[in-house]
């Protein structure tokens, strides 16, 4: 773990922290050969790679309706209640994001301009299932697609060595409204949804997070299906001052660290006292965490940085562009105003990232590795397309015809100009 004053680190160390995610490039060769295999061998390749990576011999790739119903019915009612609570909050938040389906404005007499939002026809949701299973991700990916009106939403997730999908993930898929579920994960799942196979439906867009292999695969199939954005190993950056509780800050760092050895947790603070107490707490709490091995590895990527001021903390956070940003200071609102790049923002001592991971209703599928600089986290707009509309009558066209004809002729596109003139020729 990097620990110390920001000003005393070598430029190289800070650059490495900010320019994280280099693993993506390292796996791209492996990933492209799996993609090519699925493209040429379809379901046969899906079964081979599922045996190799998940240790499962599978026959049926699609999970049947009966298996989904059985998983749902055998899930503890209390857990179903919690899935429903989370699902309702996610649904409400994403409904609030929905833009007006269609609107018009009058540009000038005879010219009305507008737009129409249309849902994508089909979407594939990747739900991770390697080092942990993620029923919550089934809710986060499928519910917004359904709220937007996507007709076919399919889900891929890796099976366990017994060939079965985690029952709570299946129950979540049912609660969220998935149309098809496939027991296939990793690169092979992304390939299957991008290219289509005998068993797996080809989709127009693939959304959802995953490890570096999954993320690299998503980035390589963009000529066949649209994707949301790179959503790889989890990260949290916490801006805090002396008003933060060290044990809570440490717990939030370890919470994201337990996802993946490549997860990254960073505290940047203007308080030397907080920094040293958090370091002590992180080391203490890491010893008793269940996923100690993963946490131990990812804490090697962690950092506790002491800045000269909260302003410097904000500047660092904006360069880092974290997936999750926690703000725990005496004046969170002022800090919030100055944040430029962050996937999802959590304010105050009582808004830890796990509340958004599961149940507050905001989406937990978020850009990592600095991609929050240019991508938004998963939201309703990822499932919609906007068509612009113009309603123009003859009088309206007459007011703008000279401009169109002049510009068309200057571009040498005579037929464009003629398409306007012909409407006034008789
Ligand atoms: N950014 C986000 O929004 C977000 C949200 C949730 C989870 N996550 C991240 O998702 C990831 C989940 O990772 P996971 O590993 O638990 O599950 P996963 O489903 O992403 O990956 C498991 C699959 O990876 C493939 N794989 C593993 N080793 C491989 C190898 N050597 N070569 C080729 N393929 C290989 C296998 O096919 C396996 O089924 C974590 O990094 C977590 O932090 C991110
Ligand atoms: N923190 C993850 C996003 O990086 C989301 C998640 C799902 N389950 C638990 N956490
Ligand atoms: Zn999490």
Please pick, among 94, 180, 324, 341, the residue that the annotation labels catalytic. Answer: 324
> Atom 17 (ligand 1): residue with closest C-alpha?
130
Task: Return the residue matching tokens 């998503």.
Answer: 218
The pLDDT, as a whole number, for residue 349 is 97
Q: What is the pLDDT of residue 25?
A: 87
Contact between residue 125 and residue 153 where contact means Cβ atoms under 8 Å apart: yes
How many Å apart are CA 27 and CA 165, to the nearest integer? 26
Nearest residue (by CA) to ligand 2, atom 6, is: 357
User: Taking a C-beta distance cutoff of 8 angstroms, is the pair 80, 172 a contact?
Assistant: no
Three-state DSSP state, 123: strand
Res 301: pLDDT: 94
Contact 246, 334 (CB under 8 A): no
pLDDT score, position 426: 81
User: DSSP string spanning 250-295?
Assistant: HHHHHHHHTT-TT-EEEEEES-HHHHHHHHHHHHHHHHH-TTHHHH
In angstroms, what is the span from residue 367 Cα to ligand 3's centroid? 13
CB 156 within 8 A of CB 103: no
pLDDT given at position 98: 98
Ligand 1 pocket, Cβ-based, cut-off 6 angstroms: 30, 53-54, 128-132, 134, 137, 158, 185-187, 209-211, 213-214, 231-234, 259-260, 263, 323, 364-366, 368
pLDDT of res. 130: 84
Distance CA 296, CA 290 (A): 11
Q: What CATH code is assigned to 2-21+233-361?
A: 3.40.50.1980
CA atoms of 373 and 371, how far apart (whole Å): 5
E strand segments, 72-179 = 102-108, 111-119, 122-126, 152-156
Nearest alpha-carbon partner for 2 in 244, 267, 250: 267
SS3 of residue 377 by DSSP:
coil
Rounded CA separation 214/158 (Å): 11
Burial 334-356 (b: 16+ CB within 10 A, else e): ebeeebebbbbbbeeeebbbbeb
Q: Which CATH superfamily is domain 25-227 in?
A: Nitrogenase molybdenum iron protein domain (3.40.50.1980)
Please tell me the predicted confidence (pLDDT) of residue 384: 98
For residue 173 the two structure tokens come to: 């898929």
* Confidence at residue 242, expressed as pLDDT on a 0 to 100 scale: 97
Domain ranges across the chain: 2-21+233-361, 25-227, 393-424
Do domains 2-21+233-361 and 25-227 share one topology? The answer is yes
> 215 with 231: CB under 8 angstroms?
yes
User: For the chain, how far is it from start to end, CA to CA, in angstroms?
Assistant: 79
**What is the ipTM, given to two decimal places?**
0.99
Pick out the chain residues at pLDDT < 50: none
């Amino acid at each position: 773990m990097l620990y110390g004053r920001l000003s005393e680190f070598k430029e190289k160390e800070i650059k490495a922290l900010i320019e994280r995610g280099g693993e993506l490039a390292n796996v791209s060769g492996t990933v492209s050969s799996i993609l090519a295999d699925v493209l040429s061998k379809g379901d046969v390749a899906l079964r081979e790679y599922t045996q190799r990576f998940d240790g499962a011999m599978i026959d049926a790739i699609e999970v049947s309706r009966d298996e989904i119903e059985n998983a749902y019915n055998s899930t503890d009612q209390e857990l179903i209640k919690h899935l429903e609570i989370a699902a309702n909050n996610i649904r409400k938040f994403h409904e609030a994001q929905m833009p007006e389906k269609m609107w018009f404005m009058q540009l000038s007499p005879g010219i009305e301009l507008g737009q129409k939002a249309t849902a994508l026809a089909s979407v594939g949701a990747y739900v991770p299932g390697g080092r942990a299973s993620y029923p919550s991700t089934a809710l986060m990916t499928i519910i917004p697609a359904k709220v937007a009106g996507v007709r076919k939403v399919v889900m891929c997730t890796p099976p366990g060595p017994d060939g079965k999908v985690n029952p709570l993930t299946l129950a979540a898929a049912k609660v969220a409204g998935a149309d098809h579920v496939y027991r296939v994960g990793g690169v092979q799942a992304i390939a299957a949804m991008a290219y289509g196979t005998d068993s797996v439906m080809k989709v127009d867009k693939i959304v959802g997070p995953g490890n570096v292999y999954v993320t690299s695969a998503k980035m390589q199939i963009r000529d066949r299906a649209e994707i949301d954005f790179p959503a790889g190993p989890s990260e949290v950056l916490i801006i805090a001052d002396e008003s933060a509780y060290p044990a809570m800050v440490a717990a939030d760092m370890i919470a994201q660290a337990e996802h993946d050895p490549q997860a990254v947790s960073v505290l940047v603070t203007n308080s030397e006292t907080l920094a040293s107490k958090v370091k002590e707490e992180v080391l203490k709490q890491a010893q008793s965490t269940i996923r100690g091995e993963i946490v131990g590895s990812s804490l090697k990527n962690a950092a506790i940085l002491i800045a000269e001021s909260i302003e410097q903390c904000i500047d660092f956070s904006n360069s880092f562009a974290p997936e999750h940003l926690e703000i725990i200071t005496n004046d969170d609102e002022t800090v919030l105003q100055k944040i430029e790049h962050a996937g999802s923002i959590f304010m105050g001592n009582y808004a830890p990232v796990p509340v958004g991971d599961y149940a507050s209703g905001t989406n937990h599928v978020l850009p990592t590795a600095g991609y929050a600089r240019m991508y938004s986290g998963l939201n309703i707009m990822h499932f919609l397309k906007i068509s612009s509309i113009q309603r123009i009558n003859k009088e309206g066209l007459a007011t703008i015809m000279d401009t169109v004809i002049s510009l068309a002729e200057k571009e040498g596109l005579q037929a464009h100009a003629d398409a306007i003139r012909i409407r006034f020729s008789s």
